[in-house]
Amino acid sequence: MKKLAAYITLVLTATFVLSPLVANPFSGFRADQLPIPQVEPPVQPAGYAFAIWGLIYTWLAVSALYGVVKRPEAADWHRARWPLIVSLAVGTPWLAIANNSAVWASITIFIMAAGAIVALLRTPERDIWLFRVPVGIYAGWLTAASFVSLGSTAAGYGLITDQTGWAYLGIAGALLVAAPVQWFSKAPSYGLTVVWALVAIIVANQLDLWTVSAMAAVGIAIMLALVAMRRPSGLSASS
């Protein structure tokens, strides 16, 4: 089962990485996908931030290949593989889902994030750069992206509050998840990726919505403090 999980991880990583080649690009929900069109909602990071997917795809691919070659039957890798498999299996069709349904995109991205977070929390203390770091970046971005999707979709249906209110709720929700994950995982790659998303929210809003930018800045301070406080026990490639 351990070797099988390693190969399934590799195959699903490949399908996940290649999925942008067969699906339309996605940079936010189209105006016609929601009853109240969400054009550049304040919860959404600036467009440049999405370039992090190139890093995520590349590093996950390297990690999966290394896992098959060097750690196919490692028990400590195995514990993290199955939740990662769930995340990648849902992530493979996610672009197609997001281009067709904002609601289902929001539901499935939370499943992706949950699987990635559980995988991160189970990553071993060795092979930090080849397993925990890439999974941490992946989980960090999904944590932020899931609340961006939720905020955009909920505002698009007029639930509870408007898009500015959902920017506050989205940032708060992301921090409520990210803070304990950072505390228990001790993975700087996770916390710094959440910071990357929050910085991009500031860039997107600047002083036009300074209260949203200010809340994102508070979140950055919290995450950087947690990264500094919860340092990993080692950062060598095979400690």
Q: How far apart are CA 231 and CA 223, in angstroms?
A: 12
Helix residue ranges, H only, the chain: 2-18, 52-70, 75-91, 94-98, 102-122, 132-156, 163-185, 188-205, 210-229
Going residue by residue through the chain, which has 239 residues, state the pLDDT in tens, using 9 for 90 and above: 899 999 999 999 999 999 999 888 777 788 889 999 888 899 999 999 999 999 999 999 999 999 999 999 999 999 999 999 999 999 999 999 999 999 999 999 999 999 999 999 999 999 999 999 999 999 999 999 999 999 999 999 999 999 999 999 999 999 999 999 999 999 999 999 999 999 999 999 999 999 999 999 999 999 999 999 987 654 444 44
Sign of CA dihedral 188, 194, 199, 200: positive
- Tally Cβ neighbours within 10 Å of residue 202: 21
What is the extent of the structural domain holding 126?
2-20+42-229
Question: Per the structure, how many domains does the chain have?
Answer: 1
142 in Cβ contact with 194 (< 8 Å): no
Enter the tokens of residue 226: 């947690």
Question: Does residue 29 fall inside a structural domain?
Answer: no
Any domain includes 234? no
Q: Which of 93, 151, 134, 139 is nearest to 113 (CA)?
A: 139
